[in-house]
Structure 1
């Protein structure tokens, strides 16, 4: 008992480190979304160009994630995380030296390579630190880094820009804690693969790992759900501050703090309470966790749609509805991420996460900001033509950006459908994985 107790305590200590690294992960990647308007005015950029900043980061993140995910299944995960954290923090500092739009995008791609090393290795570690019935809570705590990273960024970056008089200052400041935290990972004790499973895990390398992962039907539905959910999440995170400034006439600081409440504070509730509920439901029904996620996402899509129907005078109603919708959407992580662990054997979990991330980021996360930005530019020109104007104005840009965001509730509702379909094949795939482990395959 004492040994199990000590092991449990050590698992939670590692999880706390992973949480802080995840917080910095999302803090660093969120900075450009907050300073988007100062950059737009300084370099005279379109919304498509602004969207490409996020898309370029996401594309390189997805591509680099595949080989780094395989490396996490065969190499030392703590070193992968430690070096990755140091690399993305260093590139974050370099972003402050960007002299034009192209150099800014190029450095963001460097940040993407560093961050791509993190999620597959971290999720693989969690799978080996916590047994199945505790994973939703562990993933929920790990993923708290997402909303807290957003909250910290949205609550501080605007103030830092105002205090230093430059949008460059936050990049230099953000790099310091990441470099310091990276050192700690080199000293943790890495668990054996499959340590949290109830049966002995074979240590031989599986043949054709990618093909083996893609033979699991549940993984296909989960990949599609990641595609649509990240389309919505990355588009909102890229343009919400800008929308509040243009459409609702907020200052940078006020827009950033409001966004922090809408997409950040809500996540604290969604991930903690949602993770607890998901684990409780999973104990009663194998597929109950995914059904709960599907229902939460369906209601989320409806609330987001209602928020966009509010006029510019009803900014409070807009914020409350969008915040409630985003709160429910966080159940995606606590329901879907543990499901991946439950249908994928330990030797393939980092590979599965890398495949999942590559697909959802390349086709979802990368597309979201670029598609919404492009649609915003088109609807902006349409608004100008319909008004009979001959010159572009900020009013038309506000209308174009607002109307382009109607894509968000559509993709969230599609996510609900894909999560529901994943629930239908989950039990069969989870049981098959358990049988294969028991047989030593």
Structure 2
């Protein structure tokens, strides 16, 4: 970490000696440790704030995956191919990741409450208005506007939790927050398929979350609290220039390696979430004696699998991290990236087997997909925790935004489209003539081969997480020392005044 960018005077005047620095760091850690395990000290207002953030995260991800639950109907109405269908999600994610750094910069310097309120209002309104367009270009454009609104929320919300809590209490709250992601994604499939089927129009599936978004805006404006940055850690570190923030993040190996690893998680999640229902539907139609199969029913089941996998996987990952931290007291936090690395390496063969079994055994497919999603979801809350304890408080919104930019740019921004492009290309190599409509068997095999790439990406992500474990302890200690130095510097003027007063007497 570039300490000079945190405390500009440190290079000219050493205010704290090495021994005093270590002592201050130890005192800071001891003071934080007293607040780590005790949920009873959490106030009602703080619980309400976390609950509101979780509710918004839930409807946020419901909105993202509603279209995936009715993708077959969308393709039919707009008469689009697999690559164009994948482009819908790519447009959303590109807008989301491009605007994330802007909101990250604003979130470290201005009112987070009003930035989030404006963002939620924007994505709710554009989701509702976009559902009425019959032109594919305009529909895709409004999906991009939805991404802008959601970027304002996702970059800021975790930093509010970090400023309210420390240690294992923070980990528990982050687990609760990220628990809403897979549950919301699963509900997105369910809401999209059920609402569309009930109204006999898939567009009604998009019109549920905007009303919930209006409620969320009111809760942000009048109920949620916005703590001071670094409040939970008694941090007195001041914000620096955006250039200094980015330079520090790039020089932080734990942050960069965990971001690359999470990019692999985003790639796999984006591809499976977008194409999973369509792929399973094609596979089931190839099974003998399978009747009355609809994409809506498959989306409903896939949503349930994803929801329960997330409901189990996210808190399980957080619980494992907290348990191992308590046992590995000397090396501190180094167990966190190890859990994530081994989870991804375990997920890869499970996802591969699920992709292979789908045309033969329905129950086995859902079981393997469920297990693969559980191991994938183990990483969510742990990665969020890693960012917050290896980055100083006034840079955390920027760090969240930077990770969103990288993970989506090279992850789920392109994975749905890439899988669609590979699928379309394979259809030609599998013997389909340009003038012919590909058979169900050809469509299934093309999409299956395209989705195999997710297994290789999971292995790469696991390796990046294991590399993160080499640097994690050192980088967290740097943050603790920076906070301790800033606290010592802020206390020194008052100490000097007290000495002068005593001398006068």
| TM-score normalised by length of structure 2 | 0.83
Pair 1:291-2:338 in alignment: yes
Q: CA RMSD in A?
A: 2.0
TM-aligned CA deviation for residue 173 of structure 1: 2.4
The answer on 1:119 being equivalent to 2:154 is yes
Residue in 2 that maps onto 1:258: 301
**1:298-309 counterparts in 2 under 5 A?**
298-309=345-356
Q: Is contact 1:261–1:323 with CA below 8 Å preserved after alignment?
A: no
Residues 248-257 or 50-59, more deviating? 248-257
Relative to structure 1, the CA distance from residue 384 to residue 204 in structure 2 (aligned partners, 3 Å threshold; closer, same or farther) is closer
CA-to-aligned-CA distance 1:20-72 (integer Å, 9 cap, x gap): 00001000011111111111112221111111111111011000000111101
* Counterpart residue number, 2:279: 243
| Corresponding residue for residue 135 of structure 1 | 170
Task: Return the match for 1:152 from 156, 166, 187.
Answer: 187
CA contact (8 A) 2:195 2:204 kept: yes
C-alpha contact (below 8 Å) 1:344/1:352 kept by paired residues: yes
2:292 maps to 1:232: no
SS of the residue 1:98 aligns to:
coil
Secondary structure at the aligned position of 1:320 is classed as helix
Give the one of 421, 424, 429 matched to 1:382. Answer: 429
User: How far did 1:16 drift?
Assistant: 0.7
Partners of 1:220 and 1:102 lie apart in 2 by 36
- Going from structure 1 to structure 2, the CA distance change for 1:17 and 1:311 (only over 3 Å counts) comes to closer
* Contact 2:70 2:296 (8 Å CA) reproduced: no
Aligned with 1:117: secondary structure? helix
5+ residue gaps, structure 2: 1-33, 286-292, 490-505
Q: Which residue of 2 aligns with 1:267?
A: 310
Measure, in 2, the Cα distance between the counterparts of 1:230 and 1:100. 29
Q: Does 1:11 align with 2:11?
A: no
Q: Which residues of 2 match residues 38-437 of structure 1 at below 5 A?
A: 38-187=73-222, 188-197=224-233, 199-205=234-240, 208-249=244-285, 250-285=293-328, 286-385=333-432, 391-395=436-440, 396-437=442-483
Residues 82 and 185 in structure 1, CA contact (< 8 A), matched pair in contact too: yes
Q: Does the C-alpha gap of structure 1 residues 152 and 382 become closer, same or farther in structure 2, counting only changes over 3 Å?
A: same
1:384 counterpart SS class: coil
The 1-side partners of 2:430 and 2:362 are apart by 21
User: For 1:123, what is the secondary structure of its paired residue?
Assistant: helix
Residue 221 of structure 1 deviates from its aligned partner by 0.5
CA distance in 2, matches of 1:320, 1:276: 23
Distance 1:157 1:390, change over 3 A: closer
- Residues 352-379 of structure 1, C-alpha deviations (whole Å, 9 max, x = no match): 0100000111111111111101001111
Mapped partners of 1:389, 1:127: distance in 2: 54
- Cα distance between partner residues in 2 of 1:237 and 1:204: 37
Q: Is the 8 A contact 1:271 1:334 kept in 2?
A: yes
Tell me if structure 2 keeps the 8 A contact 1:384–1:390: no
**More displaced stretch, 147-156 vs 415-424:** 147-156
Aligned partners of 1:7, 1:317: CA distance in 2, in Å? 43
State the 1:432 CA deviation: 1.0
- Could you say what secondary structure the match of 2:155 adopts? helix
Question: What residue is the counterpart of 2:497 in the other structure?
Answer: none
Q: Deviations over 1:88-129 (max 9, x none)?
A: 111110121121211111000010000000111101101101
Instruction: Give the superposition deviation at 1:134.
Output: 2.1
TM value normalised by structure 1: 0.95
Partner secondary structure for residue 392 of structure 1: coil
Q: Could you tell me whether the CA contact under 8 Å between 1:297 and 1:328 is conserved in 2?
A: yes
Runs of 5+ consecutive residues of structure 1 not aligned to the other structure: none
Kept after mapping to 2: 8 A contact 1:300/1:328: yes
Deviates more, 1:21-30 or 1:40-49: 40-49
1:205 to partner: Cα distance: 3.5
Distance 1:176 1:390, change over 3 A: closer
Q: Give the superposition deviation at 1:202.
A: 2.4
- CA-to-aligned-CA distance 1:199-230 (integer Å, 9 cap, x gap): 44223535611111111011111121122111
SS for the counterpart of 1:170 is helix
Structure 2 residue matching 1:424: 3-state secondary structure: coil
Structure with max Cα Rg: 2
